[in-house]
Amino acid sequence: MKQLFAALCCTLLPFFAFAQDYPTKPIKLVIGFPPGGSNDVVARIIGPRMAEILGQPVVIENRPGANATVGTDFVAKSAPDGYTITLGSLSPLVISLATYPKITYDTARDFAPINTVALTPEIIAVHPSVPVKTLADLVALSKTKQMSLSSSGNGGLPHLAIELLKNVSKGNFLHVPYKGAAPAVTDAVGGHVHGVIMDLPALASQVKEGKLRALAVTNRQRTTVLPDVPTSGEQGLAGVQAVNWFAMMAPRGTPAPVVAKLNDALMKTLAQPQVKEHFANIGVEVFTHSSPEAFRSFLVEEIALWGKIARDAGAKAD
């Protein structure tokens, strides 16, 4: 028995020593989208502050491609040592599992969840020439003629939000996919489509400048960025709930003490008033769980929820 105990100690001591010393070198935070997007902006707000807490640089590395599945797969296959992690979001971590014919990772299996970071709702907006003032008006108009709504592409959250709107309202809406948020918003502002559904940060400035008319925010509460815009639930369409969240993940097998250190640094970062202020300025808010395990449970629920929505809609990624 003593020999077994001694052997076990010899096996575990390097593990605990590694976890205790971590981190001893820069941490790579991989973003699956190009610079300037919501994931990238959130990462660049929290990265420097986490670096101060951890005592090592947090280096942002953009690896865009295939709706962030390229960067996500890269992290899934990286060494589970806490030095390569990702700031992902709902589309690559959840929705892509159901919308891509072949996905090279399984989010629930191939990652060690750290925690959620923030969230932002979708906004339903129309060109000012469209004769509607409310979401109910838009639904009513859609039952007299087809209304076109743009999104950032097939198989993403904005696309599924449009499908939700169609299913819940029974309205006649045409989904018009674009290759990215920028061209989808540009064509909505130009009146080439009747409206758009997109993450709040991508639409806030156009709404404030009067280039688009916001009809609803797809969350349970209003947003401080556009406080006069009612929720979909306030307008009788509570089933139209679509909120994009951001989360930090490490490769499967990352030691639990390392995950705990990263989670602790993240929680301390998100508690800082300056971080909350920066988030508010771009239209996102802090969104966390009590522990990495609580986040894991939430993740499993989201995979089931959005997987069903995607399959029911027949949504496929480009």
The gap from C-alpha 97 to its chain's centroid, in whole angstroms, comes to: 14
| 195 beta partners | 126, 149
Torsion of CA 117, 121, 122, 126, to 10 degrees: -140
17: which residues sit within 8 A by CB, 6+ positions away? none
Count H helices and E strands in the chain, helices first: 13, 10
What pLDDT is recorded for position 293?
97
In degrees rounded to 5, what are phi and psi of residue 65?
140, 135
SS (H, E, C) 22-50: CCCCCEEEEECCCCCCHHHHHHHHHHHHH
Task: Round to whole Å and give the CA distance between 207 and 213.
Answer: 6
What pLDDT is recorded for position 10?
55
Q: Which two tokens stand for residue 156?
A: 């993403």
Query: pLDDT (tens digit, 0 to 9) for every residue of the chain, 318 residues total?
Result: 556 555 555 555 554 555 679 999 999 999 998 887 788 889 999 999 999 999 999 999 999 888 889 999 999 999 999 999 999 999 999 999 999 988 999 999 999 999 999 999 999 999 999 999 999 999 999 999 999 999 988 888 999 999 999 999 999 999 999 887 888 999 999 999 999 999 898 898 899 999 999 999 999 999 988 999 999 999 999 999 999 999 999 999 999 999 999 999 999 999 999 999 999 988 899 999 999 999 999 999 999 999 998 888 888 886
Q: Which of 97, 126, 140 is nearest to 214 (CA)?
A: 126
Positive or negative torsion for Cα 207, 306, 112, 66: negative
What pLDDT is recorded for position 316?
83
Query: Domains of the chain by range and CATH?
Result: 24-118+244-313 (3.40.190.150), 121-235 (3.40.190.10)
Q: Which of 56, 67, 58, 8 is nearest to 32 (CA)?
A: 67
DSSP assignment of the chain equals -HHHHHHHHHHHHHHHHHHHH--SS-EEEEESS-TTSHHHHHHHHHHHHHHHHHTS-EEEEE---TTTHHHHHHHHTS-SSSSEEEEEEHIIIIIHHHHSSS-S--HHHHEEEEEEEEEEEEEEEE-TTS--SSHHHHHHHHTTS-EEEEESSTTSHHHHHHHHHHHHH---EEEEE-SSHHHHHHHHHTTSSSEEEEEHHHHHHHHHTTSSEEEEESSSS--SSSTTSPBTGGGT-TT---EEEEEEEEETT--HHHHHHHHHHHHHHHTSHHHHHHHHHHT-EE---SSHHHHHHHHHHHHHHHHHHHHHHT----
Q: Which two tokens stand for residue 234?
A: 């306030």
What pLDDT is recorded for position 180?
79
Task: Round to whole Å and give the CA distance between 93 and 68.
Answer: 9
